[in-house]
Amino acid sequence: MSDVFPERVLPAGPITLRPFGADDAEDNRAACADEVVQRWLPLPRPYTLEASVDWCTKTAHTLRESGDGVHFAIVDPDEGRLLGAIGLKRTDWHELVSEVGYWVAPWARGRGIAALATRVLGRWLLTEQGFERLELKAAVGNIPSRKTAIKAGLHREGTLRNAGRLHTGRIDVVLYSLTPADL
Ligand SMILES: CC(C)(COP(=O)(O)OP(=O)(O)OC[C@H]1O[C@@H](n2cnc3c(N)ncnc32)[C@H](O)[C@@H]1OP(=O)(O)O)[C@@H](O)C(=O)NCCC(=O)NCCS
């Protein structure tokens, strides 16, 4: 098994998952600076255009090349506009386990996009990439993300104490998983 995920475009009906590019930088900056995203993800604060260009053109790609995971822009298939982001991180190539993370831009929320993207990425990981387990960790208080996990078909496994970090400090997280038997 290779220890780097391939660069892919994954079409999924009303959304497409594709690699980040320079054209995403302005929308990515606006979404990552959004108050709700900043509340639940410890992204740089303030989130500058410079940081966004760096993510879209370099970091998202070097993380894939390093074997840590793979990062997709979630876009509208017709207009190509950025709607969100989803990625795999902390990949264990020996145990075949990876962890998903996501956000949806304020202008695209309320349509269940994160659940659909998680379902598509999870299936890709556990079938085409031959992995055994997808994990998702959501802050105990992050109800939209916890609902997203269940809607995407993941199973709740329990609470991990003091296992996460936000701008406000350490937090307990709820662990969810998806395995090939769930598909
Ligand atoms: C989590 C997130 C990606 C979900 O975005 P989305 O796919 O547009 O999700 P939706 O708005 O469709 O909501 C998902 C579910 O949460 C519910 N929900 C949304 N806001 C809610 C709120 N304030 N209180 C309670 N439930 C809420 C929705 O009703 C929906 O539930 P349903 O499936 O029973 O209908 C988005 O809120 C986000 O980007 N949050 C900030 C970043 C983040 O938290 N990332 C995950 C870190 S683990």
Taken in order of first residue, the domains within the chain and their CATH numbers are: 10-182 (3.40.630.30)
Q: CA geometry: angle at 64 spanning 62 and 70, to 5°?
A: 135
Q: What is the dihedral of CA 59, 65, 71, 76, to 10 degrees?
A: 100
Which residues line the pocket of ligand 1, CB cutoff 6 A?
36-37, 40-41, 102-104, 109-115, 138, 142-145, 147-148, 151
Q: pLDDT per residue over 98-124, tens digit each?
A: 999 999 999 999 999 999 999 999 999
Alpha carbon distance 178, 160 (integer Å): 17
pLDDT means over runs of 10, the chain (183 residues): 91 98 98 98 97 98 98 97 98 98 98 98 98 98 98 98 98 98 97
Pick left, alpha or beta for residue 162 (phi over 0 → left; psi -120 to 50 → alpha; otherwise beta).
Answer: left
Q: Is 182 exposed, middle or buried (0-12, 13-18, 19+ CB in 10 A)?
A: middle
> In this structure, are residues 53 and 22 in contact, taking their beta carbons and an 8 Å threshold?
yes
Which protein residue has the closest C-alpha to ligand 1 atom 18?
A: 144
